């Protein structure tokens, strides 16, 4: 697909054709499968001040937490006992020996408790190559680091000065070089973001060497600096754009793993299901201890649970021929 074609589809030029093309590829390449990855939000303590994020360091209204090892292992056991194949450990950004060692030990212990069966994805931000190597050697399989926006100017507008676009690109590359199955993604509908920027994002994600992608709508958080800037797109337009982005990436990269994000589910439950049909093949049910979930408030209204049974039943009631699988 050329950039011109991507722009045509992103602008709503022919949704029907786009979604037909992408679902045909989804079903022929990946069948009806939806993979489950249990999401554990390890900590909302963060040293970064990203202008869009509710748990940024400067937000003093956040009740900060760090899960105990025991809590993480309990969640991991829940995933394992239910036959899920995989876990994601996500966290605010901490760069310290303590944090590096904590993740290292958690990875080792989760591998032990599951007899090596649970695959582990980490989503713990920018770290040194040495830290990444230690986590990989401990047994982590995958790493997610979003580029957030591949347009340098926009990236710089939504991040503080100490977060560099070039460094983000290099860090993403170092994850790939290190041997992680690496994922990235963007936010869709940011203030100042244009269709042209999003078309560049799709080409970037298709060509940067990743094997997984998580992308979702940007959702305002009133305690962030970005709140006062308006997006060109309404929430429902962001939902539609997200579906188009997922479909386009599925066409560009038939085999890539694409998550249907929590942010998409927050704006529209139905859209999270539609995403599965037009190209997504991964969902990440939240298995953080329930009393703590609300504190991982990246954006307003963030849904904090996903009832698998009802998810499942809803699918089949609607007659959508998808198969939720554990691996
Ligand atoms: N510290 C980790 C995890 C960050 S949270 C890291 O930097 O990789 C995971 C993702 O949530 C971010 O990468 C960002 O894309 C998304 N996110 C943060 N704030 C958001 C908002 N206001 N709306 C939508 N998504 C948001």
Looking at the chain, list the stretches that DSSP marks H as alpha helix, in order from N- to C-terminal side: 3-10, 15-30, 69-81, 97-113, 129-138, 152-158, 165-178, 195-207, 235-252, 262-267, 269-278, 308-317
Mean pLDDT of 169-175: 98
Q: How far is the CA of 162 from the centre of ligand 1 (A)?
A: 17
d(CA 131, CA 98): 11
313 pLDDT tier (thresholds 50, 70, 90): very low
Whether pLDDT at 306 is above 70:
no
Whether pLDDT at 236 is above 90:
yes
Token output for 43? 């900590």
Q: How far is the CA of 307 from the centre of ligand 1 (A)?
A: 22
Q: Could you tell me if the CB of 251 is within 6 A of ligand 1?
A: no
Question: 85 versus 163: which is more confidently predicted?
Answer: 163
Atom of ligand 1 nearest to the CA of 124: 2
d(CA 17, CA 20): 5
d(CA 242, CA 257): 15
Which residue, judged by its Cα, is nearest atom 4 of ligand 1?
92
Least confident of 12-26, 79-93, 148-162, 163-177: 79-93
Alpha carbon 134 to its chain centroid, in Å, reads 23
Q: Could you tell me if the CB of 123 is within 6 A of ligand 1?
A: yes
Whether pLDDT at 11 is above 70:
yes
Residue 319: what pLDDT? 43
Which residues have a Cβ under 8 Å from the Cβ of 184 and sit 6 or more positions away? 144, 145, 146, 147, 172, 205, 208, 210, 212, 213
d(CA 150, CA 297): 24
d(CA 152, CA 157): 9
Q: Could you tell me if the CB of 214 is within 6 A of ligand 1?
A: no
d(CA 135, CA 124): 11
Instruction: Give yes or no for a contact between 156 and 165, defined as CB atoms under 8 angstroms apart.
Output: yes
Which residue, judged by its Cα, is nearest atom 6 of ligand 1?
125
Atom of ligand 1 nearest to the CA of 148: 15
Q: Could you tell me if the CB of 201 is within 6 A of ligand 1?
A: no
Which backbone phi and psi does 292 adopt, to 5 degrees? -105, -20
Whether pLDDT at 312 is above 80:
no
Q: Any idea what DSSP says for residue 255?
A: T
Atom of ligand 1 nearest to the CA of 214: 15
Alpha carbon distances (Å) from 36 to 29, 88, 166, 233:
18, 10, 32, 30
Query: Whose CA is closest to 245, among 285, 284, 197, 208?
Result: 197
Q: How far is the CA of 270 from the centre of ligand 1 (A)?
A: 22
Query: Whose CA is closest to 86, among 121, 42, 119, 40?
Result: 119
Residue 305: what pLDDT? 58
d(CA 158, CA 295): 22
Whether pLDDT at 311 is above 80:
no
Instruction: Give yes or no for a contact between 325 and 30, defined as CB atoms under 8 angstroms apart.
Output: no
Q: Any idea what DSSP says for residue 225?
A: G
Q: Could you tell me if the CB of 284 is within 6 A of ligand 1?
A: no
Mean pLDDT of 192-212: 98
83 pLDDT tier (thresholds 50, 70, 90): confident
Which residue, judged by its Cα, is nearest atom 10 of ligand 1?
146
Residue 186: what pLDDT? 98
d(CA 14, CA 220): 29
Residue 307: what pLDDT? 52
| Residue 32: strand, helix, or coil | coil
Q: How far is the CA of 298 from the centre of ligand 1 (A)?
A: 7
Which residue, judged by its Cα, is nearest atom 12 of ligand 1?
146
302 pLDDT tier (thresholds 50, 70, 90): confident
Average pLDDT, the chain: 93
Q: How far is the CA of 296 from the centre of ligand 1 (A)?
A: 11
Whether pLDDT at 315 is above 70:
no
269 pLDDT tier (thresholds 50, 70, 90): confident
Query: Whose CA is closest to 154, among 142, 141, 145, 163?
Result: 163
Which residue, judged by its Cα, is nearest atom 18 of ligand 1?
53
Residue 273: what pLDDT? 87
Mean pLDDT of 262-290: 92
Residue 303: what pLDDT? 76
Q: Could you tell me if the CB of 299 is within 6 A of ligand 1?
A: yes
Whether pLDDT at 53 is above 50:
yes
Atom of ligand 1 nearest to the CA of 46: 1
pTM of the complete model? 0.94
Q: How far is the CA of 139 from the centre of ligand 1 (A)?
A: 24
Pocket test for ligand 1, best of 66, 89, 146 (most atoms within 8 A of CB): 146
d(CA 114, CA 105): 14
Percent of residues in the chain assigned helix, strand, coil, to nearest 5 = 45, 15, 40
Give just the sign of the alpha carbon dihedral 12, 16, 19, 24.
negative
36 pLDDT tier (thresholds 50, 70, 90): confident
108-141 confidence digits (pLDDT tens):
999 999 999 999 999 999 999 999 999 999 999 9
Which residue, judged by its Cα, is nearest atom 19 of ligand 1?
53
Question: 279 versus 310: which is more confidently predicted?
Answer: 279
């Amino acid at each position: 697909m050329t950039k011109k074609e991507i722009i045509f589809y992103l602008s709503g030029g022919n949704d029907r054709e786009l979604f037909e093309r992408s679902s045909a590829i989804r079903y022929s390449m990946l069948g009806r499968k939806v993979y489950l990855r249990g999401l554990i939000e390890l900590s909302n303590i963060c040293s970064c001040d990203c202008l869009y994020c509710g748990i940024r360091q400067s937000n003093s209204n956040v009740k900060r937490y760090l899960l105990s090892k025991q809590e993480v292992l309990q969640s991991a056991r829940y995933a394992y006992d239910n036959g899920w194949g995989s876990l994601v450990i996500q966290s605010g950004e901490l760069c310290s020996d303590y944090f590096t060692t904590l993740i290292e030990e958690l990875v080792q212990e989760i591998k032990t408790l599951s007899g090596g069966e649970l695959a582990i994805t980490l989503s713990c931000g920018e770290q040194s190559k040495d830290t990444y190597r230690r986590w990989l050697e401990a047994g982590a399989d995958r790493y997610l680091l979003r580029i957030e926006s591949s347009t340098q100017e926009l990236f710089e507008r939504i991040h503080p000065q100490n977060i560099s676009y070039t460094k983000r690109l290099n860090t993403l590359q170092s994850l790939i070089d290190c041997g992680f199955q690496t994922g990235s993604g963007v936010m869709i509908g940011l203030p100042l973001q244009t269709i042209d920027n999003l078309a560049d994002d799709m080409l970037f994600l298709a060509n940067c060497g990743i094997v997984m992608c998580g992308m979702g709508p940007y959702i305002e958080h009133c305690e962030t600096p970005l709140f006062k800037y308006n997006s060109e797109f309404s929430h429902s337009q962001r939902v539609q754009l997200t579906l188009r982005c997922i479909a386009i990436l599925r066409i560009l990269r038939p085999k890539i793993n694409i998550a249907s994000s929590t942010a998409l589910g927050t704006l529209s439950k139905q859209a999270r299901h539609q995403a599965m049909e037009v190209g997504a093949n991964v969902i990440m049910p939240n298995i953080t201890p329930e009393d703590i979930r609300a504190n991982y408030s990246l954006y307003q209204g963030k849904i904090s649970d996903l009832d698998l049974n009802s998810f499942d039943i809803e699918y089949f009631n609607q007659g959508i021929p998808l198969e939720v699988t554990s691996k």
